[in-house]
Structures are given as C-alpha cells and as structure tokens.
Amino acid sequence: MTSDRVLNELDNRVVSMPDSMLAEILAGENIISAKEALETNLASHRAKRAQALYNLIRYYKSDTINPSSRDSLISLLQQENSLPAKYQLAFEYLETGDTGAVNSTLNGIPGTFNLTGEESIVHNEYLDYFAVLQDLAKNDRNIFTIDSSSLANLQGIYTSGHEPVKSYARNILTGSGNLTYYEPILLPENLKSSEKIKKYNSGRFDEKSYLKVFPNPARQFVIAQYNLKEKFNEKSTTNLIITDMRGLTTESRILIKQQDQELINTSGYVPGSYTCTLIINGKRIDSKKFVIAR
C-alpha cells in the first residue's frame, strides 16, 4: 500500500508531479503487494497458532482430575520458544514447589532471548516478583500474612513497574487489603475510526476546456473528468464516446450530471492511441487523446 509519508513527499515537491503519474500512484494506494499479502497470511497463521496454544494451556490448567495435566502443560511450555511461555513455565514450576527449576528458567531467559531495553527492565521486575513469591512459600506464608519486606517490594513494583508484573503485584496488594483499587471504566469514542478518505485534485480545467483524461499514458484504466455547467441543461443529451485509431467506438456512455468523473476500464484495450469525445445533442464539445501502454 502507498504510505502517507510517500504521498506527503510527492505533494511537497518543488516541481509538482504530472497529474497522470500521480493518478496512477493513487490508483494503487489501497492495493497490497505480493510481499504484503504474504506477510498478511503469515500473520494470520501465527495468530491461529497462538490461539491454539492458548486453548491447550487453558485446557490443561482447567483439568483438575487428571494428575498428568500439569506435566503435559510443563512439557508444552518447555517446547514453546517465547518469552511469555518461559514466564508461564516459571509459574508452573513454582506451583509444584520446584524452586530450582524456577530460578533456572528465569536465569536462562537473558541468554536465550535477545532482550530489548524495556524487556530487560521487565525481566528484572519478574525476578523481584518471583523472589517475593518464593519467600512466601519458603516461610509458609500467604498474602494475608505477608511480611513488611515483601510488602515493600510489591509496592515498589506496583508503583514504578511495567505490565504485566505491575498487575501481578497490584492483585496481591488488593487481595491482602493493602491497596484500594478501582477498575477504570473505558468509554467508547463517539467518532468512527474509519480511515479518512483522501481527496485528489487533478488540477483546474484549461480555459475553454470541458474534458480531462488521465492518466496518460494509461494501463488498466483512465478517468474522464468533465465539467459541463456552462453547456448542460435538463433537455440535453450528453454522451461520452471513446474511439480507437480507426475511428471505431470502443466505449459509449450517457452522462446525466453536469460535472463528474467517469472511470473507464481499459484492461481489454489494445495498446495504441484513443480519443475521448464529449457530445451534447449530437455536437462535439471537446475531445482528448490518450495512449494505452502495456
């Protein structure tokens, strides 16, 4: 798709681009390339895979009857090479009381993944958060008997931390009665979120000219722009006719408006020169030549 940045640069040219060239660019503004189509398909498959993984995790976690469900979940997360999966794996190890596996999983993340600056900060917050959870488990405490040191660590994570660790700390603080939290109410916007339609002004009509045809040369289409305000009335019979080099009519349309644009599909036209003519009540008003090139 043609980006807004490219279109803005074209608009800001010192020497303006010819209407025909700009019209061809705008014609493909919402057409995606083969690479973009492939990227779209790849994103779709990745989304389906992520949904399937989520469904498996939810299935194993909700199965409280089969004792092997947790082992299956751990095995699944061990094979998943992503940051969220590794943190989820650490939580599962913590549930089983395997603190060695918890620390091994967390400490192995920086060497396995090329963390960005923000991801490194979040990882350190995960380490602080898991340290609090392990301390609670080690001293046989829960969120209602949390000590002052762990409470201070959680408050620090909640105050200056990043998501999702910030929310994890907030949940413990809220559940233990150490924080009063009101869920924000998000209201929808009143305005529609559809993309603003870009307008293209192909220029003014020349003096004593009633017709413009662009792009020229053309490939898959041409646009016949006409302005007949000075000639048009309710009793007028107005036609737009396209003829080839031999004078044979390839297109004929009846016009019912004083001013408009007619989009003409030329994908089936033979390469060569053509003439577009405006006729009112059998009299030729204006004509323009254009070329079809492949």
DSSP 115: -
For 26, list phi and psi in degrees, rounded to 5. Answer: -65, -25
Does domain 211-292 fall under CATH 2.60.220.10? My reply is no
CA 289 to chain centre: 41
Q: Check: pTM over 0.85? Answer yes or no.
A: no
pLDDT tens, residue by residue, 167-208 = 999 999 999 999 888 888 877 766 655 555 555 444 444 446
Q: 77-133, pLDDT tens digit by residue?
A: 999 999 999 999 999 999 999 999 999 999 999 999 999 999 999 999 999 999 999
Residue pair 178/149 in contact (Cβ under 8 Å)? The answer is no
Measuring CA to CA, how many Å separate 179 from each of 24, 154, 171, 176, 186? 60, 11, 9, 8, 21
**What is the pLDDT at residue 21?**
61
> Which two tokens mark 140?
């046989």
Question: What are φ and ψ of residue 289, in 5° steps?
Answer: -95, 150
| Domain range summary for the chain, segments of one domain joined by + | 32-175, 211-292
DSSP state of 124: H
Mean pLDDT for all residues in the chain: 84
Lowest-pLDDT choice from 65-74, 130-139, 173-182, 231-240: 231-240
159 vs 234: CA distance, rounded Å: 72
